[in-house]
Chain A
Amino acid sequence: AQKVTQAQTEISVVEKEDVTLDCVYETRDTTYYLFWYKQPPSGELVFLIRRNSFDEQNEISGRYSWNFQKSTSSFNFTITASQVVDSAVYFCALSGNYGQNFVFGPGTRLSVLP
């Protein structure tokens, strides 16, 4: 069975601090995909990134970066110089090769204080 763990339920930081959101996954599949979604206070789900299991290269997009390590089954998300607009719930998700088994973690609520 697939499982995603986000051990940090809530995190509070002050604006401009860096923050890392942890994601640990479990799967027996050799081909799988990892995702991060953002849910701002308005409630919609916003896609941030997708990573496949064969690509361990880290990715940076502006203030966002992702660190994928198969050896520790982790796919962590770092926000550099956080801003108030980053306040949201962030979900890590895992999918097998076929989309029927799309599993979300419980989410991490990030509060960025001015």
Chain B
Amino acid sequence: EAQVTQNPRYLITVTGKKLTVTCSQNMNHEYMSWYRQDPGLGLRQIYYSMNVEVTDKGDVPEGYKVSRKEKRNFPLILESPSPNQTSLYFCASSPSRQGSDEQYFGPGTRLTVT
């Protein structure tokens, strides 16, 4: 089944404790991105990647890191999480970098930082 998977689905952590949220897609998509969803703000793009080893900042990159060493994986790293990073996170992929491509979303990861 074609899908985007994220792990973990739920995570509660403490301020400053490094964490990684994994994202994997099995559709051989070139383009992947991370979003955070907050009430009243919709989804905001954190980082995106147009291909392996090519990543760039989205609208809200502060406090996050990403890497794209393999085409299928695009982990999101929070090196020192803070409470304002408590949010619902979505990973997405699309076949190419073309703006016309529909994005396929993972199920979401709900992160709470205390």
Contact = CB atoms under 8 A, between A and B. Distances in A.
Contacts of B56: 100
Given A100-B48, A100-B50, A104-B44, A44 B98 contact: no
Contact of B102 (A43, A47, A52, A103): A47
Interface residues of A, number: 28
A98 B98 contact: yes
B22 interface: no
Interface residues of B, number: 29
A107 B40 CA distance: 7
Contact of B105 (A45, A99, A103): A45
Contact of B42 (A32, A33, A101, A106): A106
B102 A9 contact: no
Interface in B25-48: 31, 33, 35, 40-45, 48
B90 interface: yes
Contacts of A33: 99-100
